[in-house]
Structure 1
Amino acid sequence: MKMSDVAKLANVSAATVSRVLSQPEKVSKETREKVLDVINKVKYKPHIVARQFRTQETKIILVVVPDITSAFFSKVLRGIEHIALENGYQVILGDTENDIERENSYINLLLQKQVDGMVLLTARLDKNKLEELASEFPLVLACEYVDGLNVPTVSIDNVSSARKATEHLIQLGHSKIAHITGPINIILSRDRLKGYRQAMISNDLEVDPAYIQEGDLSFESSYNETLKLLSLSTPPTAIFVFNDEMAMGTIKAAKDSGLSVPNDLAVVGFDNIKMSTVFEPNITTIDQPKFAIGKKAMELLLHLIKGEPMKKKKFVMKDELIIRESTLIK
């Protein structure tokens, strides 16, 4: 079944069928319904490659994530796909596994015009390269970001939220507070460490270098770093951890060391993934509006694809401290 066959059955021109498929708002409701009725009856499928040649667009966007197994990114992806599908776009996914070379290879898809635009949920490439790419192609950053980069970006204020998490522990009476970071080459790790430091210093508390340990985003790394912290001559009574999965590793290490959470050790995570509500004890955490971040990122990408002007490029979404059992002594 060809487009010309659909046109003949609907008694319209092939150009009208094409407009119904690509620009339905430019076709009257009556004609649009008549054409769509024929399309549904004969189960017509447009030839994607042919459409790409005609319109110079693929109706496909690429989303690049640092770790597809992360529960956090799955929610962001749902937000992106929600808006994409509403606007006739398909989403393909690239998982870098935190490998910058893979990130480069996915960017080549955009350079070869195999996709109409890209949402990067990881931003570890050189700033100049990202700026050059964004000057030629539709590109949006979400979750991660680059200081001083003039590219549409959606994120939370990681410094402020980390400060909020640390101050919660201080308000509970803790003064010996440790922090397990993510990989320090990631801007999110550096900003959350900055927020932790700010909270400690503003409350006249010592920032002990021994209380700052670097993890690799995994349960296992946080488990091991927590054992190191607990083996210190003066161990911490509270730990702020880079993310919820790592916070689970911290809690497991505490339990295996014979400690009670939160009675002996209070723990705060980050991201508010679903597991943080079912893990024992439930984890106090910083909630990021994951679905909303994804939706906003895709909306911005659509503006770029359509060539629409943007008055604002930096969008900081609201986070929230969720207090649960891992910090509250019964």
Structure 2
Amino acid sequence: MVTIKDIAARLDVSASTVGRALADDPRISSAMKQKVQEVASEIGYVANRAARMMRGVSSNLVGLIVPDIRNSFYSTIAHALSKCLEQDGFQLTLSETDDDRAVELRHVRELVSANVVGMILVPSAKPLPETVRLLKSMPHVQLLRQHAALGEQWFGIDDPKALALAVGHLLELGHRRIAYVGPSTDLPTGAARIKGYREALVSAKAWDAALEVCGSPSATDFGRDALRRLLALAKPPTGLVLGAVQHTHSVLDECISRGIRVPEELSVVGFGDEPGFRWWGPGLTTIGLPVSELATACGLWFLHQLRQRPTTLPDYRSMSSPTLVVRGSTRAQVHVTTSAAQKRVRSKSTTA
């Protein structure tokens, strides 16, 4: 491994001079700093972060903890935060929890031991007490989800409004049997989304608890199973709203595999607006969410706070508004007794 001593030998100066030059010490001339940087680059010198931290040099690492990187929300967030932070000399390090709070604690411990300057996280439903204690010892901000024990620093989406927009759209088209497939209500986002769904339907006197199916937002087959259950009901839904990106993917896959015609047999409103959604079938009507903008705003606010070198951050809440993107997967409800989609589900259930 190339060391400071190797650079010093090439320049015939002391190792302390090289060390100060690399640390941008004002006692070292600009000309010497440039020579040191040129030689360091030439021979492949990389600073030893652990040694720098032992000398009291601040870390430039920011931890990001998310449940599932396969979810486009979180990959978009990671990309936006990385670009935002690197402009200020910080580097993002990513951890994935799969919503397991024991895994979450392990990642928090590792990031603390790596002396990260702060953390941005999408917390699990019930973080362990040690996770809460560790996070309170350093700057951190919550993203999308918020857990009260972790403080009042949060950037998120108006989740009740998102589902109210989706339901309102189908109600305007004449639908009254409107189903919901979304994340578990153990998660704050799950609870907020089903709240928006229920309130919109209760106001229209069209709510039916049998049309709600909630489960893990990261389970790849949950949406498929939920759609089968809903279409097998004696009175199946004519409209469906989704409360998670992964559920949207699996429901759309199930519609294709079973030959369910959208929107003729079932009007569908997705969650999130990935590029592929505009090309799916007739084009997916969906809830657009400003995820990249939200992550950038979070990153810029976090950077501003880090410049103040705090141990804790001031309370701050930022809520972004969703939008309804209307395409071809929804249409006015035409009354039928038993849908072709329901008949196919029943037929396949019989033969299975």
TM-score, length basis structure 2:
0.80
* SS in structure 1 at match of 2:55: helix
Is the counterpart of residue 140 in structure 1 residue 141 in structure 2? yes
1:321 corresponds to which of 311, 321, 324? 324
Partner residue, 1:168: 169
Distance 1:148 1:263, change over 3 A: farther
Counterpart code for 1:313: Y
Aligned equivalent of 2:107: 106
- CA drift of 1:88 comes to 2.5
Contact 1:159 1:195 in 2 (8 A): yes
Partner amino acid, structure 1, of 2:162:
S
Question: What is the root-mean-square deviation of aligned Cα atoms in Å?
Answer: 3.1
Task: Give the stretch that moved more between structures: 180-189 or 287-296.
Answer: 287-296
The amino acid across from 1:318 in the alignment is S
Q: Distance in 2 between matches of 1:232 and 1:114?
A: 54
Q: What is the CA-CA distance between 1:125 and the residue it aligns to?
A: 3.3
For 2:120, give the aligned amino acid.
V
| Displacement of 1:237 | 0.7
Q: Quick one: structure 1 residues 102 and 285, their matched pair in 2 at CA, closer, same or farther if it must change by over 3 Å?
A: same
Superposed CA offset, 1:271-326 (max 9, x none): 22233233324322222222223323333443444445766511212322222221
Contact 2:105–2:130 (CA<8 Å) still a contact in 1?
A: no
Instruction: Tell me the CA shift for residue 96 of structure 1.
Output: 1.2
Which is worse superposed, 240-249 or 301-310? 301-310
Q: Give 1:4-15 correspondences, 5 Å limit.
A: 6=7, 9=11, 13-14=17-18
In structure 2, relative to structure 1, the CA distance for the partners of 1:155 and 1:33 (3 Å cut) is: farther
Q: Does the Cα contact within 8 Å between 2:182 and 2:247 map onto a contact in 1?
A: no
Q: Which amino acid is 2:328 matched to?
A: E
Letter in 2 for 1:207: W
Distance 1:147 1:284, change over 3 A: farther
Does 2:263 correspond to 1:262?
A: yes
Q: Residues 15 and 250 (structure 1 numbering): CA distance in 2 closer, same or farther, change over 3 Å?
A: closer
Conserved 8 A contact 1:254-1:265: no
* Offset at residue 175 of structure 1 (A): 1.5
Single out whichever of 149-158 and 74-83 deviates more from structure 2: 149-158
Task: Determine the structure 2 residue equivalent to 1:246.
Answer: 247
Q: How does 1:59-98 map to 2 (within 5 A)?
A: 59-98=60-99
How far apart are residue 72 of structure 1 and its match?
Answer: 2.1
Residues 272 and 288 of structure 1 are in contact (CA less than 8 Å); yes or no, is this contact kept in structure 2?
yes
Q: Aligned-pair distance for 1:231?
A: 1.5
Closer/same/farther in 2, CA of residues 134 and 301 from structure 1, 3 Å limit: farther
The equivalent residue for 2:185 is 184
Equivalent-residue separation in structure 2 for 1:245 and 1:79 (angstroms): 20
Q: Greater shift after overlay, 248-257 or 138-147?
A: 248-257
2:209 alignment partner in structure 1: 209
Task: Compare 68-77 and 53-62 and name the one that shifted more.
Answer: 53-62
Q: Secondary structure at the match of 2:221?
A: helix
Range moving further from structure 2, 161-170 or 250-259: 250-259
TM-score by length of 1: 0.85
Segments of 5+ residues of structure 2 without an aligned counterpart are 333-352
User: Hey, what does 1:227 align to over in structure 2?
Assistant: 228
Distance 1:35 1:85 in 2: 23
Q: Is the 8 A contact 1:123 1:145 kept in 2?
A: no
Structure 1, gaps ≥5 residues long: none
Q: Secondary structure at the match of 1:55?
A: coil
Q: Secondary structure at the match of 2:125?
A: coil
Counterpart code for 2:223: S
Once the two structures are aligned, what percentage of the paired residues are identical?
A: 24
Number of residue pairs matched by the alignment:
325
- The Cα shift of 1:111 comes to 3.9
Distance 1:28 1:311 in 2: 40
Distance apart, 1:267 and its partner CA: 0.7
Deviation at 1:57, TM superposition (A): 3.2
Q: State the secondary structure of the residue aligned to 1:144.
A: coil
* Alpha carbons of structure 1 residues 69 and 249: separation in structure 2 relative to 1, 3 Å: closer
CA 1:171–1:129: 2 relative to 1, 3 Å: farther
Call closer, same or farther: CA 1:262–1:248 in 2, change over 3 Å: farther
SS of 2:298's partner is helix
Compared with structure 1, are the counterparts of its residues 322 and 99 closer, same or farther at alpha carbon in structure 2 (3 Å cutoff)? same
